Amino acid sequence: MLSKKTDVRNIIERGDTAVGIELGSTRIKAVLVGPDHQPLASGSHDWENSNIDGIWTYGLDEIWSGIQASYANMVRDAETRYGVVIEQIGTIGVSAMMHGYLAFDKAGELLTPFRTWRNNTTGPASEALTGLFGFPIPQRWTVAHLYQAILNGEEHVSRIAHLTTLAGYVHWKLTGEQLLGIGEASGVFPIDQDTMQYNRGMLDQFASLIASYGYDWTLEEILPGIRMAGEPAGNLTPDGARLLDGAGRLRAGISLCPPEGDAGTGMVATNSVSPRTGNVSAGTSVFAMIVLEKALSRAYPEIDLVTTPAGRLVAMVHSNNCTSDYDAWIGLFAEALQALGLEVPKGRLYDTLLEKALEGDPDGGGLLSYGYVSGEHITHFEEGRPLFVRGAGSRLTLANFMRTQLFASLGALRTGLEILFERESVRLDEILGHGGFFKTREVGQRVMAAATRVPVSVMETAGEGGAWGIALLASYRMRKAEGESLQDFLSHKVFAGQQSIRVEPDPRDMSGFDTFMQRYTRGLAIERAAVDHSD
């Protein structure tokens, strides 16, 4: 009888595997999964965006060096665990942070630095397109970046031959195919729920809007094609294999699934693709994805309308800022400890400080914080200024400070969710949480449950994140039965028997968060003054 290690080695050698690669805001991760859809090996690479001339961006060289490093680390992990070098893979999927703007000319050259989702510089375009379409077009969306570039009179626009997102760019360079999964495409331009393609009427409206500029392209011509989950999306080319595997051992010809954004992979990784399910991804940014039972009654600028990778309508509440500011504060506390000659492991420091938040006053003791490292469209800030504010009567304790930091990281998210829950009567059975916000056991769940007023569950696999989610989409492309829906594939083949930890909303926490939100909303004037009067 073969040992488990030998079984896995044979699986890897014959390529009965799927690999998911996701480019997140601070980390690129690669995950290898087997035929049972469970992770076998993984590798990662840390990276950070740069603010260059007022634009949040990553360089193309950084993208590929990061992908190669995460892939190489995954290969090394597999070799260490099972004594086998990866040369063949059954299928691959690519995911990345949604939205943004990558424009290329006919020669395939990038025309302007990559503009990420984090840029709140497209306000006029967002407002104009939302009014024109009667459909919310957030500042992060690719079409908003395009129209803002047009309004700005940017020279490069006339030379655009191909427009895409980060996931679409990587997929294109690996396969030669210029396309997106429908979930990712729904953050580029609105989708028609009947045709599952870009909305024809809105394409025509956009064409009329820019007709006077005289460009020799149409939006339909420069946008990527759309594929549904499970549909073919091209194969790894020899050049693509060399881009992915710097060691040159990976064979070409491997099939790829449609590329998706981190919102779509988060839905898949938490089995939140059917109505009345939702998930929240909380890390550098925080966004909630709620699969709708019916369309909303009207357009709200605070709410994105996107789709699952299978095309179901989803309400997305996206806040640009979540953990970055309290990460910075914890880093300051680490420096203080080091100055005293104390070395505390990073994980222990985080757990200790975050757990302290549960000991604080329900509302955080009257303290106030805004973790706006960048702009925040939900509360109408084009730029951010991280702030910590307290009054003379506030109770400044470590527990209250940490509780306030956690509450503040969800303030903008709560503002958007109130629209869905109160104005549109959207109902949820529970929210599945994933991302760094939930790493410290119970803390993130309790705070999120207080903010959303909904039970919050975290699965055993929550730590695998979007790289695992896109690996599952790749597996679905390779292993689905004829006519099998994505929902059935996930429920019956991936998550059957999956254990999760569920936390119910605590009335004391909910009441405290409500009090904090009143203070948070009133205090936005302080944040506005900081943005208007400081550099």
d(CA 95, CA 165): 10
Other CB atoms within 10 Å distance of the CB of residue 484 = 14
The phi and psi torsions of 191 (rounded to 5 degrees) equal: -105, 140
Question: Quick one: average pLDDT of 473-478?
Answer: 96
Question: Quick one: average pLDDT of 234-251?
Answer: 96
What percentage of the chain carries pLDDT values higher than 70?
99
Position 1 scores a pLDDT of: 34
Q: How confident is the model at residue 281 (pLDDT cuts 50, 70, 90)?
A: confident
What is the four-CA torsion angle of 518, 521, 523, 526, rounded to 10 degrees? 180
Buried b (16+ CB within 10 A) or exposed e, 237-249: beebbebbbeeee
pLDDT averaged over every residue in the chain: 94
Each residue's pLDDT tens digit, 145-179 = 999 999 999 999 999 999 999 999 999 999 999 99
Domain boundaries, the chain: 324-408+508-533
Burial label, 305 (beta-carbon count in 10 A; 0-12, 13-18, 19+):
buried
d(CA 95, CA 261): 5
Position 2 scores a pLDDT of: 42
What percentage of the chain carries pLDDT values higher than 90?
84
The phi and psi torsions of 91 (rounded to 5 degrees) equal: -160, 155
Position 301 scores a pLDDT of: 84
Residue 5 pLDDT exceeds 80: no
SS3 of 8, please?
helix
Question: Residues 185, 198: contact at Cβ < 8 Å?
Answer: yes
Each residue's pLDDT tens digit, 380-431 = 998 999 999 999 999 999 999 999 999 999 999 999 999 999 999 999 888 9
Q: How confident is the model at residue 50 (pLDDT cuts 50, 70, 90)?
A: very high
Q: How confident is the model at residue 334 (pLDDT cuts 50, 70, 90)?
A: very high
Computed over its alpha carbons, how large is the radius of gyration of the chain? 23
Position 3 scores a pLDDT of: 53
Residue 462 pLDDT exceeds 70: no
